Amino acid sequence: MTGWGLRGKQDVAKAKNKAYEEIDDRSETKEGTNELFKLAKKRDRHGQNVQQIRVMKNEDGEVLMEEGKVKQRWKEYFDGLLNKENPREAQQTHAEVIARVVENVSDNEVRNALQRMKKGYAQGPDEIPVEAWVCLGEIGIEFLTELFNRLLHGEKMPEE
């Protein structure tokens, strides 16, 4: 084995067991109980501090330690990350637009889509469950087909 080897691991395990036994024996006394609570509080505070970032490097690689400068660097980082133009989007601006007729949505397409949808869930912002459309039968299919075709040709979503 590499590192400590088997003997070293056994020694560590024995030492841990001994320490746990001592803690267990002390925990039966009032002082031991208080010691455990203090230890738990200390570990909790230590865990909370892990989530704070106190040091950060700026663009030049210099270490920033002041809270205000660290916050400012995070702001700069996210501003640059979120506001820079995406190179993939820039490439799409050179795409050639092809005009062609888009076929209407058919009753069969709507019917098949309703059959494939999971039951028991509201499918969109209107929160109308799929079962409601299925219960309406052909009337529901005709309504949805007409709605989808209006959306397709009007190129915008209705307010209601």
In tens, the pLDDT along 22-73 reads 877 777 788 878 887 888 888 777 666 555 667 788 888 888 888 888 888 8
Mean pLDDT of 66-85: 82
The residue extents of the domains of the chain are 5-49, 56-90, 107-154
Give CA–CA dist 26/38, Å, rounded: 14
Is the pLDDT at 21 greater than 80? The verdict is: yes
Amino acid at 83: N
H or E segment at 63?
strand 63-64
Mean pLDDT of 88-102: 68
In tens, the pLDDT along 7-18 reads 888 888 899 888
Is the entire prediction scored with pTM above 0.85? no
Q: Calculate the CA dihedral of residues 118, 119, 122, 123 and round it to 10 degrees.
A: 30
Q: Could you tell me which residue, 47 or 147, shows the higher pLDDT?
A: 147
Any residues with CB less than 8 A from the CB of 151 and at least 6 apart, and which? Answer: 157, 158
- What letter does residue 29 receive in the DSSP assignment? S
Q: How many residues does the chain have?
A: 160
How high is the pLDDT of residue 155?
A: 64
Residue 141 banded pLDDT, cuts 50, 70, 90:
very high
Give CA–CA dist 133/144, Å, rounded: 9
